[in-house]
Amino acid sequence: MLMTDDQVLRVADLIDRPGASRRLDVLPAAPDDLQLPLAEVTGPLRLRGVVESVVDGLLVRATLTAQLRVSCARCLVALTERVEADVVELFTAAADPDADPEPGYTYADGVLDLDALLRDALVPAVPLRSLCSEECPGLCPQCGTNRNDAACDCSDTITDSRWAALEGLRLPD
Ligand SMILES: [Zn+2]
Ligand SMILES: [Zn+2]
């Protein structure tokens, strides 16, 4: 993957200087292998906050904003959601670049790689249930018509949803 300048943070000036800090405002690309549950990043990510040198390493305190494409939970139409996540993560010096990666975030060669942090912050930020509108009538459970667009002929058949699941259940003869 081609690293843009916004994909990594150059932090050589902050390492081993506890108390030093720098404002952070970058527009990183979404990590290549990002897999979000039922959502897709459609706009630039933005990470704004501060990188602070502390005794144990470098502390990133920032707000991540993203634009996601999700689906309405009722009618499945595509929606755009802006999400925001607060990030507070400590990066420590990578002990040995040839060793197995340690748990947690590390920096090496004066550079912080933001991919893991972006991934970990975005996954829980995806809304669990988005609606195109609070009143969205959803899809007809019988014929699948989107009731936002059209009425269908099934509408007078009232099926008690408590029993709907049982209708598909047939005991073997
Ligand atoms: Zn909807
Ligand atoms: Zn219908």
Q: How far is the CA of 46 from the centre of ligand 1 (A)?
A: 28
Position 17 in a domain: yes
Q: Which residues surround ligand 1, an ion (CB under 5 A)?
A: 72, 74-75, 132, 136
pLDDT tens, 66-119?
999 999 999 999 999 999 999 999 999 887 656 665 568 989 889 988 988 999
Position 2 in a domain: no
Cα angle, residue 161 at apex, residues 141 and 165 outer, rounded to 5°: 85
Q: How confident is the model at residue 2 (pLDDT cuts 50, 70, 90)?
A: very low
Q: How far is the CA of 159 from the centre of ligand 2 (A)?
A: 12
Compute the distance between CA of residue 154 and CA of residue 89 in angstroms, rounded to an integer: 53
Return the percentage of the chain with pLDDT > 90, whole number: 58
Count of structural domains within the chain:
2
Q: Please tell me the total number of residues recorded for the chain in this structure.
A: 173
Residue 156 has pLDDT above 60, yes or no: no
Domain extent for 60: 8-125
Return phi, psi of residue 32, to 5°: -55, -40
Cα angle, residue 49 at apex, residues 43 and 51 outer, rounded to 5°: 120
Unique residue bearing structure tokens 């014929």: 143
Do 52 and 109 fall into the same domain?
yes
Compute the distance between CA of residue 73 and CA of residue 79 in angstroms, rounded to an integer: 10
pLDDT tens, 30-57?
988 888 988 999 988 999 999 999 999 9
Tell me if the pTM is above 0.85. Answer: no
Position 119 in a domain: yes
* pLDDT reported for residue 92: 92
Do 113 and 151 fall into the same domain?
no
pLDDT tens, 158-167?
555 665 666 6
Q: What secondary structure does DSSP assign to 95-151, as a single string?
A: S-TTSPPPSSEEEETTEEE-HHHHHHHHGGGS-SSB-S-TT---B-TTT--BTTT--
Return the structure tokens found at 1. 């993957």
Do 98 and 31 fall into the same domain?
yes
